[in-house]
Chains A and B, each alone.
Chain A
Amino acid sequence: MLWLTYRQHRMQLLVTVAALIVVGTLLLVNGSSAASSRDPAAHFRDLYTYLSWLQVVPVAIGVFWGAPLLANEYERGTTKLAWTQSVSRFRWLGTKLGFLAVLATLAGLAFGAMMQRWLEVFPTNRGDTSFTNRFDNPALFAMTGVAPGAWWLLGFVLGTAAGALVRKTLPAIAVTIAVTVGLMIGVTNVRDLYAEPQLVTVGSGGQDPGGRVVEMVRDATGEITALKILPQDWYWRFQWTEAAILIGFAILLAGVAAVAVRRRS
Protein backbone atom coordinates (compact mmCIF):
# COMPACT_ATOMS: atom_id res chain seq x y z
CA MET A 1 0.00 0.00 0.00
CA LEU A 2 2.84 2.42 0.82
CA TRP A 3 4.37 1.71 -2.55
CA LEU A 4 1.04 2.32 -4.26
CA THR A 5 0.53 5.61 -2.42
CA TYR A 6 4.00 6.78 -3.34
CA ARG A 7 3.61 5.65 -6.96
CA GLN A 8 0.27 7.36 -7.41
CA HIS A 9 1.35 10.64 -5.90
CA ARG A 10 5.05 10.77 -6.60
CA MET A 11 4.62 13.65 -9.02
CA GLN A 12 3.13 15.89 -6.33
CA LEU A 13 5.75 14.73 -3.82
CA LEU A 14 8.67 15.43 -6.15
CA VAL A 15 7.33 18.83 -7.17
CA THR A 16 6.88 19.77 -3.52
CA VAL A 17 10.39 18.67 -2.58
CA ALA A 18 11.81 20.57 -5.56
CA ALA A 19 9.85 23.69 -4.59
CA LEU A 20 11.14 23.44 -1.03
CA ILE A 21 14.69 23.21 -2.33
CA VAL A 22 14.20 26.27 -4.55
CA VAL A 23 12.66 28.31 -1.72
CA GLY A 24 15.39 27.18 0.68
CA THR A 25 18.10 28.21 -1.73
CA LEU A 26 16.53 31.63 -2.25
CA LEU A 27 16.23 32.14 1.50
CA LEU A 28 19.80 31.06 2.02
CA VAL A 29 21.20 33.39 -0.64
CA ASN A 30 19.08 36.32 0.44
CA GLY A 31 19.72 35.74 4.12
CA SER A 32 23.48 35.48 3.81
CA SER A 33 23.75 38.63 1.71
CA ALA A 34 21.44 40.47 4.12
CA ALA A 35 23.58 39.43 7.08
CA SER A 36 26.58 41.21 5.63
CA SER A 37 24.60 44.19 4.37
CA ARG A 38 24.16 47.60 5.93
CA ASP A 39 20.53 47.74 4.92
CA PRO A 40 19.08 44.31 5.60
CA ALA A 41 15.54 45.69 5.36
CA ALA A 42 16.00 46.24 1.64
CA HIS A 43 16.94 42.60 1.21
CA PHE A 44 13.93 41.60 3.26
CA ARG A 45 11.59 43.64 1.09
CA ASP A 46 13.15 42.22 -2.09
CA LEU A 47 12.22 38.69 -1.21
CA TYR A 48 9.18 39.25 0.97
CA THR A 49 7.17 40.65 -1.94
CA TYR A 50 7.23 37.17 -3.46
CA LEU A 51 7.51 35.17 -0.28
CA SER A 52 4.22 36.47 1.10
CA TRP A 53 2.50 34.50 -1.65
CA LEU A 54 3.64 31.28 -0.02
CA GLN A 55 0.85 31.77 2.51
CA VAL A 56 -1.37 30.08 -0.05
CA VAL A 57 0.69 26.88 -0.17
CA PRO A 58 -1.89 25.09 2.03
CA VAL A 59 -4.45 25.80 -0.72
CA ALA A 60 -2.07 24.37 -3.32
CA ILE A 61 -1.50 21.28 -1.16
CA GLY A 62 -5.26 20.87 -0.95
CA VAL A 63 -5.66 21.29 -4.70
CA PHE A 64 -2.81 19.07 -5.87
CA TRP A 65 -2.41 16.53 -3.08
CA GLY A 66 -5.83 16.38 -1.45
CA ALA A 67 -8.63 16.96 -3.93
CA PRO A 68 -7.50 14.42 -6.56
CA LEU A 69 -6.66 11.74 -3.99
CA LEU A 70 -10.20 10.34 -3.96
CA ALA A 71 -12.03 12.44 -6.55
CA ASN A 72 -9.75 11.28 -9.34
CA GLU A 73 -10.28 7.63 -8.39
CA TYR A 74 -14.05 8.05 -8.25
CA GLU A 75 -14.03 9.88 -11.54
CA ARG A 76 -11.94 7.30 -13.39
CA GLY A 77 -13.68 4.35 -11.78
CA THR A 78 -10.46 3.05 -10.27
CA THR A 79 -12.16 2.85 -6.87
CA LYS A 80 -13.81 -0.25 -8.33
CA LEU A 81 -10.34 -1.62 -8.95
CA ALA A 82 -8.80 -0.57 -5.65
CA TRP A 83 -11.72 -1.65 -3.48
CA THR A 84 -11.99 -5.13 -4.93
CA GLN A 85 -8.45 -6.17 -3.99
CA SER A 86 -7.63 -8.00 -0.78
CA VAL A 87 -7.05 -4.75 1.10
CA SER A 88 -9.97 -3.24 3.00
CA ARG A 89 -11.22 0.20 2.09
CA PHE A 90 -10.38 1.40 5.54
CA ARG A 91 -6.75 0.33 5.28
CA TRP A 92 -6.54 1.68 1.76
CA LEU A 93 -7.77 5.11 2.83
CA GLY A 94 -5.84 4.99 6.11
CA THR A 95 -2.54 4.34 4.37
CA LYS A 96 -3.05 6.98 1.69
CA LEU A 97 -4.33 9.60 4.07
CA GLY A 98 -1.85 8.79 6.84
CA PHE A 99 1.26 8.57 4.68
CA LEU A 100 0.55 11.76 2.75
CA ALA A 101 -0.63 13.63 5.86
CA VAL A 102 2.67 12.89 7.57
CA LEU A 103 4.62 14.02 4.50
CA ALA A 104 2.55 17.21 4.12
CA THR A 105 3.10 18.04 7.79
CA LEU A 106 6.83 17.35 7.59
CA ALA A 107 7.12 19.47 4.45
CA GLY A 108 5.24 22.31 6.17
CA LEU A 109 7.48 22.05 9.24
CA ALA A 110 10.58 22.11 7.06
CA PHE A 111 9.27 25.21 5.33
CA GLY A 112 8.52 26.82 8.71
CA ALA A 113 12.03 26.06 9.97
CA MET A 114 13.62 27.55 6.86
CA MET A 115 11.56 30.71 7.18
CA GLN A 116 12.45 30.90 10.84
CA ARG A 117 16.16 30.67 10.16
CA TRP A 118 15.92 33.33 7.46
CA LEU A 119 13.99 35.74 9.69
CA GLU A 120 16.62 35.52 12.40
CA VAL A 121 18.95 37.52 10.15
CA PHE A 122 16.70 40.55 10.38
CA PRO A 123 16.37 42.78 13.43
CA THR A 124 12.82 42.97 14.72
CA ASN A 125 10.79 45.71 16.35
CA ARG A 126 12.96 48.55 15.13
CA GLY A 127 11.09 51.23 13.32
CA ASP A 128 10.15 50.30 9.78
CA THR A 129 11.42 46.74 10.11
CA SER A 130 8.66 45.73 12.55
CA PHE A 131 7.09 44.05 9.57
CA THR A 132 9.73 41.38 9.95
CA ASN A 133 8.25 40.41 13.30
CA ARG A 134 6.93 36.86 13.11
CA PHE A 135 4.37 37.58 15.82
CA ASP A 136 3.03 40.91 14.59
CA ASN A 137 2.93 40.03 10.91
CA PRO A 138 0.05 37.55 10.38
CA ALA A 139 1.58 36.20 7.17
CA LEU A 140 4.88 35.45 8.91
CA PHE A 141 3.05 33.96 11.86
CA ALA A 142 1.44 31.42 9.55
CA MET A 143 4.74 30.69 7.78
CA THR A 144 6.98 30.14 10.79
CA GLY A 145 7.09 27.81 13.76
CA VAL A 146 4.69 24.85 13.74
CA ALA A 147 1.81 26.71 12.06
CA PRO A 148 2.80 25.86 8.45
CA GLY A 149 2.98 22.15 9.32
CA ALA A 150 -0.57 22.32 10.65
CA TRP A 151 -1.80 24.45 7.75
CA TRP A 152 -0.35 22.18 5.09
CA LEU A 153 -1.84 19.19 6.85
CA LEU A 154 -5.23 20.87 7.03
CA GLY A 155 -5.09 21.87 3.35
CA PHE A 156 -4.35 18.28 2.38
CA VAL A 157 -7.05 16.67 4.51
CA LEU A 158 -9.60 19.29 3.51
CA GLY A 159 -8.91 18.62 -0.17
CA THR A 160 -9.22 14.88 0.43
CA ALA A 161 -12.53 15.26 2.26
CA ALA A 162 -13.87 17.54 -0.48
CA GLY A 163 -12.91 14.87 -3.05
CA ALA A 164 -14.60 12.16 -1.00
CA LEU A 165 -17.83 14.13 -0.78
CA VAL A 166 -17.98 15.64 -4.26
CA ARG A 167 -16.38 12.66 -6.11
CA LYS A 168 -15.35 14.88 -9.05
CA THR A 169 -11.92 16.47 -9.31
CA LEU A 170 -12.71 19.96 -10.60
CA PRO A 171 -15.60 20.72 -8.24
CA ALA A 172 -13.53 19.25 -5.40
CA ILE A 173 -10.71 21.64 -6.27
CA ALA A 174 -13.13 24.59 -6.30
CA VAL A 175 -14.53 23.59 -2.90
CA THR A 176 -11.01 23.14 -1.55
CA ILE A 177 -9.90 26.60 -2.67
CA ALA A 178 -13.01 28.33 -1.34
CA VAL A 179 -13.03 26.60 2.04
CA THR A 180 -9.28 26.80 2.66
CA VAL A 181 -9.08 30.49 1.77
CA GLY A 182 -12.14 31.14 3.93
CA LEU A 183 -10.54 29.29 6.83
CA MET A 184 -7.28 31.19 6.43
CA ILE A 185 -9.06 34.53 6.55
CA GLY A 186 -11.25 33.40 9.45
CA VAL A 187 -8.39 32.03 11.52
CA THR A 188 -6.28 35.15 10.93
CA ASN A 189 -9.15 37.24 12.26
CA VAL A 190 -9.69 35.25 15.42
CA ARG A 191 -6.00 34.74 16.18
CA ASP A 192 -5.90 37.60 18.68
CA LEU A 193 -8.56 35.85 20.73
CA TYR A 194 -6.37 32.82 21.50
CA ALA A 195 -5.53 34.37 24.90
CA GLU A 196 -6.82 37.15 27.12
CA PRO A 197 -4.51 40.16 26.51
CA GLN A 198 -2.52 41.72 29.31
CA LEU A 199 -3.64 45.10 30.61
CA VAL A 200 -0.84 47.63 30.83
CA THR A 201 -1.58 50.99 32.49
CA VAL A 202 -0.23 53.97 30.64
CA GLY A 203 2.03 56.39 32.42
CA SER A 204 2.12 54.49 35.70
CA GLY A 205 5.74 53.84 35.26
CA GLY A 206 5.12 50.18 34.64
CA GLN A 207 7.47 48.65 32.14
CA ASP A 208 6.37 47.94 28.59
CA PRO A 209 6.58 44.18 28.07
CA GLY A 210 6.71 44.73 24.30
CA GLY A 211 3.99 43.24 22.24
CA ARG A 212 1.06 43.75 19.94
CA VAL A 213 -1.54 46.29 21.04
CA VAL A 214 -5.00 44.88 20.50
CA GLU A 215 -7.09 47.50 22.32
CA MET A 216 -6.74 50.91 23.91
CA VAL A 217 -8.64 51.63 27.12
CA ARG A 218 -9.88 55.24 27.47
CA ASP A 219 -11.38 57.11 30.36
CA ALA A 220 -14.46 59.40 30.21
CA THR A 221 -12.48 62.26 28.73
CA GLY A 222 -11.14 60.10 25.95
CA GLU A 223 -7.69 59.91 27.44
CA ILE A 224 -5.90 56.60 26.97
CA THR A 225 -5.39 55.04 30.36
CA ALA A 226 -4.30 51.52 29.49
CA LEU A 227 -3.40 49.19 26.64
CA LYS A 228 -4.40 45.61 26.11
CA ILE A 229 -1.41 43.88 24.59
CA LEU A 230 -0.31 40.44 23.53
CA PRO A 231 3.28 40.08 24.70
CA GLN A 232 5.95 38.99 22.20
CA ASP A 233 6.93 35.93 24.16
CA TRP A 234 3.46 34.48 23.67
CA TYR A 235 4.49 33.57 20.13
CA TRP A 236 4.91 29.88 20.85
CA ARG A 237 1.80 29.69 22.96
CA PHE A 238 -0.13 31.12 20.02
CA GLN A 239 1.66 28.83 17.57
CA TRP A 240 0.63 25.73 19.49
CA THR A 241 -2.89 27.01 19.97
CA GLU A 242 -3.25 27.52 16.24
CA ALA A 243 -1.68 24.15 15.48
CA ALA A 244 -4.05 22.42 17.90
CA ILE A 245 -7.10 24.07 16.32
CA LEU A 246 -6.00 23.15 12.80
CA ILE A 247 -5.09 19.59 13.71
CA GLY A 248 -8.49 19.26 15.35
CA PHE A 249 -10.12 20.40 12.11
CA ALA A 250 -7.96 18.00 10.13
CA ILE A 251 -8.96 15.03 12.30
CA LEU A 252 -12.60 15.97 11.92
CA LEU A 253 -12.26 16.19 8.13
CA ALA A 254 -10.38 12.88 7.99
CA GLY A 255 -13.37 11.37 9.77
CA VAL A 256 -15.68 12.93 7.19
CA ALA A 257 -13.58 11.42 4.39
CA ALA A 258 -13.63 7.99 6.06
CA VAL A 259 -17.40 8.06 6.46
CA ALA A 260 -17.81 9.15 2.83
CA VAL A 261 -15.56 6.31 1.60
CA ARG A 262 -17.35 3.76 3.78
CA ARG A 263 -20.66 4.65 2.18
CA ARG A 264 -21.45 1.95 -0.37
CA SER A 265 -24.08 3.49 -2.54
Chain B
Amino acid sequence: MTESAIVEATGLGKRYRRTWALRDCSLSIPTGRVVALVGPNGAGKTTFLHLAVGLLDATLGSVSIKGATAFLAQDKPLYTGFTIAEMLKFGKRLNPGWDDEFALKRIDSLQLPLKHKVGKLSGGQRAQVALTLALAKRPDLLVLDEPLANLDPLARHEVMRGLMEAVAETGMTVLLSSHVVSDLENTCDWLIVLNGGRVQVSGDIDELVAGHRILTGPAEEADSVSRRVPIVEDTRSGRQATLFARTEPVPLSPQWSERPVSLEQMVLAYLRRPDSASLPRPTLATA
Protein backbone atom coordinates (compact mmCIF):
# COMPACT_ATOMS: atom_id res chain seq x y z
CA MET B 1 0.00 0.00 0.00
CA THR B 2 1.48 3.35 -0.96
CA GLU B 3 0.48 6.16 1.35
CA SER B 4 1.06 9.82 0.64
CA ALA B 5 2.59 11.89 3.41
CA ILE B 6 0.66 14.73 5.01
CA VAL B 7 3.51 15.81 7.27
CA GLU B 8 7.10 15.77 6.09
CA ALA B 9 10.01 16.81 8.27
CA THR B 10 13.58 16.89 7.03
CA GLY B 11 16.58 17.47 9.25
CA LEU B 12 14.37 19.42 11.60
CA GLY B 13 16.14 20.92 14.60
CA LYS B 14 15.30 23.47 17.27
CA ARG B 15 17.77 24.99 19.65
CA TYR B 16 16.95 27.08 22.69
CA ARG B 17 20.06 29.02 23.57
CA ARG B 18 22.61 26.22 24.02
CA THR B 19 20.40 23.14 24.25
CA TRP B 20 18.80 21.30 21.36
CA ALA B 21 15.15 20.51 22.10
CA LEU B 22 14.96 18.58 18.84
CA ARG B 23 17.67 17.54 16.46
CA ASP B 24 18.02 15.92 13.09
CA CYS B 25 14.39 14.93 13.00
CA SER B 26 13.36 13.46 9.66
CA LEU B 27 10.06 11.71 9.34
CA SER B 28 6.95 11.52 7.25
CA ILE B 29 3.43 10.89 8.45
CA PRO B 30 1.09 9.05 6.09
CA THR B 31 -2.30 10.56 5.33
CA GLY B 32 -5.30 9.13 7.13
CA ARG B 33 -3.37 7.74 10.08
CA VAL B 34 -3.85 8.30 13.77
CA VAL B 35 -0.30 8.96 14.82
CA ALA B 36 1.05 8.68 18.35
CA LEU B 37 4.05 10.81 19.19
CA VAL B 38 5.49 9.18 22.27
CA GLY B 39 8.40 9.98 24.49
CA PRO B 40 9.35 10.92 28.03
CA ASN B 41 8.79 14.44 29.29
CA GLY B 42 11.27 16.80 27.71
CA ALA B 43 11.84 14.55 24.70
CA GLY B 44 10.93 17.31 22.27
CA LYS B 45 7.32 16.34 21.55
CA THR B 46 5.82 19.75 22.17
CA THR B 47 8.66 21.40 20.28
CA PHE B 48 8.03 19.17 17.27
CA LEU B 49 4.28 19.85 17.31
CA HIS B 50 4.78 23.60 17.69
CA LEU B 51 7.22 23.57 14.78
CA ALA B 52 4.74 21.60 12.69
CA VAL B 53 1.83 23.99 13.28
CA GLY B 54 4.00 27.08 12.84
CA LEU B 55 4.06 28.36 16.42
CA LEU B 56 7.83 28.02 16.33
CA ASP B 57 10.46 28.58 13.67
CA ALA B 58 13.01 25.84 13.13
CA THR B 59 16.68 26.43 13.81
CA LEU B 60 17.57 23.85 11.18
CA GLY B 61 15.70 21.88 8.55
CA SER B 62 12.06 22.20 7.68
CA VAL B 63 8.63 20.71 8.24
CA SER B 64 5.71 20.99 5.87
CA ILE B 65 2.05 20.08 6.09
CA LYS B 66 -0.27 19.48 3.17
CA GLY B 67 -3.75 20.80 3.86
CA ALA B 68 -5.64 22.63 6.57
CA THR B 69 -4.41 22.07 10.10
CA ALA B 70 -6.05 22.47 13.48
CA PHE B 71 -4.08 22.49 16.71
CA LEU B 72 -5.08 21.79 20.27
CA ALA B 73 -2.40 22.90 22.73
CA GLN B 74 -1.69 20.97 25.89
CA ASP B 75 -3.37 23.29 28.39
CA LYS B 76 -6.42 23.54 26.07
CA PRO B 77 -6.35 27.32 26.03
CA LEU B 78 -9.73 29.02 25.68
CA TYR B 79 -10.87 32.51 26.59
CA THR B 80 -12.18 31.89 30.10
CA GLY B 81 -14.48 34.91 30.10
CA PHE B 82 -16.25 33.76 26.92
CA THR B 83 -19.39 31.67 26.84
CA ILE B 84 -19.35 28.49 24.78
CA ALA B 85 -21.43 30.28 22.15
CA GLU B 86 -18.86 33.07 21.99
CA MET B 87 -16.05 30.55 21.69
CA LEU B 88 -17.84 29.05 18.68
CA LYS B 89 -18.33 32.52 17.25
CA PHE B 90 -14.59 33.03 17.64
CA GLY B 91 -13.97 29.89 15.57
CA LYS B 92 -16.48 30.98 12.97
CA ARG B 93 -15.05 34.47 12.60
CA LEU B 94 -11.46 33.36 12.35
CA ASN B 95 -11.85 30.35 10.07
CA PRO B 96 -13.36 30.43 6.58
CA GLY B 97 -13.89 26.64 6.52
CA TRP B 98 -15.84 26.62 9.78
CA ASP B 99 -18.69 24.10 10.05
CA ASP B 100 -21.15 25.80 12.39
CA GLU B 101 -23.78 23.10 12.13
CA PHE B 102 -21.30 20.44 13.21
CA ALA B 103 -20.05 22.57 16.10
CA LEU B 104 -23.54 23.26 17.44
CA LYS B 105 -24.54 19.62 17.08
CA ARG B 106 -21.46 18.42 18.90
CA ILE B 107 -21.89 20.87 21.79
CA ASP B 108 -25.53 19.82 22.01
CA SER B 109 -24.69 16.12 22.09
CA LEU B 110 -22.22 16.82 24.91
CA GLN B 111 -25.13 18.41 26.78
CA LEU B 112 -23.23 21.63 27.30
CA PRO B 113 -25.38 24.78 27.51
CA LEU B 114 -24.19 27.41 25.02
CA LYS B 115 -24.55 30.17 27.59
CA HIS B 116 -22.13 28.55 30.00
CA LYS B 117 -18.92 30.45 30.71
CA VAL B 118 -15.89 28.51 29.52
CA GLY B 119 -14.03 29.33 32.74
CA LYS B 120 -16.62 27.45 34.79
CA LEU B 121 -16.42 24.16 32.89
CA SER B 122 -14.75 21.02 34.25
CA GLY B 123 -11.48 19.85 32.76
CA GLY B 124 -13.19 17.26 30.62
CA GLN B 125 -15.84 19.69 29.34
CA ARG B 126 -13.16 22.25 28.54
CA ALA B 127 -11.25 19.65 26.58
CA GLN B 128 -14.44 18.80 24.68
CA VAL B 129 -15.12 22.43 23.82
CA ALA B 130 -11.53 22.90 22.69
CA LEU B 131 -11.79 19.71 20.62
CA THR B 132 -15.05 20.91 19.07
CA LEU B 133 -13.36 24.17 18.15
CA ALA B 134 -10.56 22.25 16.44
CA LEU B 135 -12.84 19.73 14.69
CA ALA B 136 -15.30 22.32 13.37
CA LYS B 137 -12.52 23.80 11.29
CA ARG B 138 -12.78 20.59 9.29
CA PRO B 139 -9.03 20.16 9.14
CA ASP B 140 -7.13 17.64 7.04
CA LEU B 141 -4.73 17.26 9.94
CA LEU B 142 -5.56 17.61 13.61
CA VAL B 143 -2.58 18.06 15.91
CA LEU B 144 -3.11 17.53 19.66
CA ASP B 145 -0.50 18.04 22.36
CA GLU B 146 -1.12 15.67 25.27
CA PRO B 147 -4.90 15.77 24.79
CA LEU B 148 -5.56 13.42 27.69
CA ALA B 149 -3.24 14.93 30.27
CA ASN B 150 -4.97 16.12 33.45
CA LEU B 151 -8.23 14.37 32.60
CA ASP B 152 -10.01 11.78 34.71
CA PRO B 153 -10.45 8.29 33.21
CA LEU B 154 -14.02 8.88 32.10
CA ALA B 155 -13.14 12.18 30.43
CA ARG B 156 -10.14 10.51 28.75
CA HIS B 157 -12.43 7.90 27.28
CA GLU B 158 -14.99 10.47 26.16
CA VAL B 159 -12.41 12.73 24.53
CA MET B 160 -10.81 9.78 22.74
CA ARG B 161 -14.21 8.54 21.62
CA GLY B 162 -15.09 11.96 20.21
CA LEU B 163 -11.80 12.05 18.41
CA MET B 164 -12.18 8.56 16.95
CA GLU B 165 -15.74 9.27 15.82
CA ALA B 166 -14.50 12.34 14.00
CA VAL B 167 -11.82 10.24 12.33
CA ALA B 168 -14.44 7.68 11.28
CA GLU B 169 -16.57 10.47 9.86
CA THR B 170 -13.99 12.53 8.00
CA GLY B 171 -10.95 10.32 7.55
CA MET B 172 -8.70 13.13 8.70
CA THR B 173 -5.16 12.53 9.88
CA VAL B 174 -4.50 12.89 13.60
CA LEU B 175 -1.15 13.54 15.23
CA LEU B 176 -1.22 13.38 19.00
CA SER B 177 1.47 13.33 21.62
CA SER B 178 1.41 11.49 24.90
CA HIS B 179 3.77 10.22 27.50
CA VAL B 180 1.27 7.57 28.60
CA VAL B 181 1.43 4.70 26.15
CA SER B 182 -1.58 2.84 27.48
CA ASP B 183 -3.77 5.73 26.32
CA LEU B 184 -2.78 5.06 22.76
CA GLU B 185 -3.38 1.36 22.45
CA ASN B 186 -6.41 0.76 20.22
CA THR B 187 -6.60 4.36 19.13
CA CYS B 188 -3.39 5.03 17.25
CA ASP B 189 -2.10 3.10 14.28
CA TRP B 190 1.24 4.79 13.67
CA LEU B 191 3.94 5.26 16.24
CA ILE B 192 6.73 7.80 16.51
CA VAL B 193 9.03 7.56 19.50
CA LEU B 194 11.00 10.69 20.32
CA ASN B 195 13.77 10.40 22.86
CA GLY B 196 16.27 13.03 23.85
CA GLY B 197 15.31 15.19 20.89
CA ARG B 198 15.76 12.43 18.29
CA VAL B 199 13.37 10.14 16.43
CA GLN B 200 13.90 6.61 17.65
CA VAL B 201 11.01 4.66 16.17
CA SER B 202 8.60 5.46 13.37
CA GLY B 203 6.20 3.01 11.80
CA ASP B 204 2.89 1.19 11.63
CA ILE B 205 2.00 0.01 15.13
CA ASP B 206 0.71 -3.44 14.17
CA GLU B 207 3.79 -4.09 12.06
CA LEU B 208 6.10 -2.83 14.78
CA VAL B 209 4.46 -4.95 17.46
CA ALA B 210 4.46 -8.00 15.19
CA GLY B 211 8.08 -7.33 14.36
CA HIS B 212 9.37 -7.59 17.92
CA ARG B 213 9.65 -10.56 20.29
CA ILE B 214 10.92 -11.26 23.73
CA LEU B 215 13.30 -14.22 23.66
CA THR B 216 14.15 -15.99 26.89
CA GLY B 217 16.83 -18.63 27.21
CA PRO B 218 20.19 -19.65 28.64
CA ALA B 219 22.68 -16.84 29.05
CA GLU B 220 25.55 -18.73 27.42
CA GLU B 221 23.68 -18.90 24.12
CA ALA B 222 22.53 -15.30 24.21
CA ASP B 223 25.53 -13.91 22.36
CA SER B 224 25.11 -16.26 19.45
CA VAL B 225 21.41 -15.33 19.23
CA SER B 226 22.17 -11.61 19.32
CA ARG B 227 24.56 -12.06 16.43
CA ARG B 228 21.68 -13.36 14.32
CA VAL B 229 18.92 -10.92 15.22
CA PRO B 230 18.94 -7.22 16.11
CA ILE B 231 18.56 -6.82 19.86
CA VAL B 232 16.97 -3.73 21.33
CA GLU B 233 17.55 -4.67 24.93
CA ASP B 234 19.59 -7.41 26.51
CA THR B 235 18.91 -8.29 30.15
CA ARG B 236 20.88 -11.03 31.92
CA SER B 237 20.02 -12.40 35.30
CA GLY B 238 22.17 -15.29 36.41
CA ARG B 239 21.92 -18.07 33.86
CA GLN B 240 18.93 -16.59 32.07
CA ALA B 241 18.99 -14.02 29.31
CA THR B 242 16.00 -11.97 28.18
CA LEU B 243 16.46 -10.47 24.77
CA PHE B 244 14.12 -7.86 23.35
CA ALA B 245 14.58 -8.55 19.67
CA ARG B 246 13.46 -6.83 16.53
CA THR B 247 12.69 -9.87 14.47
CA GLU B 248 10.13 -12.06 12.80
CA PRO B 249 9.72 -15.49 14.37
CA VAL B 250 13.11 -17.21 14.32
CA PRO B 251 14.03 -20.85 14.72
CA LEU B 252 15.73 -21.25 18.06
CA SER B 253 16.97 -24.13 20.14
CA PRO B 254 14.27 -25.75 22.34
CA GLN B 255 15.69 -24.13 25.45
CA TRP B 256 14.58 -20.77 24.14
CA SER B 257 11.05 -19.48 24.36
CA GLU B 258 9.62 -16.53 22.53
CA ARG B 259 6.79 -14.23 23.51
CA PRO B 260 5.00 -11.54 21.55
CA VAL B 261 5.34 -8.00 22.88
CA SER B 262 2.78 -5.37 23.74
CA LEU B 263 2.97 -1.83 22.45
CA GLU B 264 3.87 -0.59 25.89
CA GLN B 265 6.66 -3.14 26.38
CA MET B 266 8.09 -2.20 23.01
CA VAL B 267 8.03 1.53 23.67
CA LEU B 268 9.60 1.08 27.10
CA ALA B 269 12.35 -1.14 25.70
CA TYR B 270 13.29 1.54 23.18
CA LEU B 271 13.08 4.37 25.67
CA ARG B 272 15.44 2.54 27.99
CA ARG B 273 17.91 2.17 25.13
CA PRO B 274 18.10 5.59 23.49
CA ASP B 275 20.85 4.37 21.14
CA SER B 276 18.58 1.76 19.49
CA ALA B 277 16.39 2.76 16.63
CA SER B 278 13.73 1.29 14.40
CA LEU B 279 13.13 3.52 11.45
CA PRO B 280 11.83 2.96 7.97
CA ARG B 281 15.37 3.28 6.66
CA PRO B 282 17.96 0.61 6.10
CA THR B 283 21.17 0.05 8.06
CA LEU B 284 20.00 1.10 11.45
CA ALA B 285 20.47 -2.19 13.23
CA THR B 286 21.96 -1.89 16.66
CA ALA B 287 25.35 -3.18 17.66
Contacts and interface: CB of A to CB of B under 8 A. Distances in A.
Complex: A in contact with B (CB within 8 Å): yes
Contacts of A87: 94
A8 B55 contact: no
Given A264-B54, A264-B56, A77 B73 contact: yes
Contacts of A83: 54-55
A1 B75 contact: no
Nearest to B145: A80
Interface stretch (B85-93, B107-115, B183-191, B245-253): B85-93
Interface string B63-81: 0000011110101011110
Given A85-B95, A264-B55, A265-B56, A76 B86 contact: no
Residue picked from A84, A86, A264, most chain B C-beta under 10 Å: A84
A78 interface: yes
Among A81, A87, A264, find the residue whose CB has the most chain B CB atoms closer than 10 A: A81
Q: Tell me the interface secondary structure of chain B in the complex.
A: loop
A8 B77 contact: no
Interface in A247-265: 264-265
Contacts of B80: 76
B77 A80 contact: yes
Interface residues of A toward B: which range? 10 to 19
Given A76-B80, A78-B78, A265-B16, A84 B93 contact: no
Contact of A85 (B57, B75, B86, B91): B91
B77 A81 contact: yes
Interface string B212-229: 000000000000000000
A140 B71 CA distance: 51
A7 interface: yes
B94 A4 contact: yes
Contact of B93 (A1, A77, A264): A1
B238 interface: no
Given A78-B77, A78-B78, A80-B55, A86 B16 contact: no
B100 to A, nearest CB: 15
B77 A85 contact: no
B95 to A, nearest CB: 5
A10 to B, nearest CB: 10
B172 interface: no
B82 interface: yes
A78 B69 CA distance: 17
A4 B86 CA distance: 9
A74 to B, nearest CB: 11
Given A3-B93, A265-B16, A84 B78 contact: no
A8 B94 contact: no
Interface in A84-98: 84-87
Nearest to A77: B77
B57 A4 contact: no
Nearest to A80: B73
Given A1-B93, A4-B93, A81 B73 contact: yes
A143 to B, nearest CB: 33
B96 interface: yes
A7 B97 contact: no
Contacts of A84: 53-55, 69-71, 73
Given A77-B75, A80-B55, A80-B77, A85 B94 contact: yes
Contacts of A265: 16, 56-57
Contact of B79 (A1, A8, A80, A85): A8
B78 A81 contact: yes
Contacts of A86: 68, 94-97, 137
Nearest to B82: A7
A77 B75 CA distance: 8
Nearest to B130: A81
A7 B87 CA distance: 11
B90 A4 contact: yes
Given A76-B77, A78-B79, A264-B54, 10 more contacts: A78-B77, A78-B78, A80-B55, A81-B73, A81-B79, A83-B54, A85-B91, A85-B94, A86-B95, A265-B56
Kindly list the 6 A-B residue pairs having the minimum CB-CB distance in the complex, ordered from nearest.
A85-B94, A80-B73, A84-B71, A77-B77, A264-B57, A78-B77
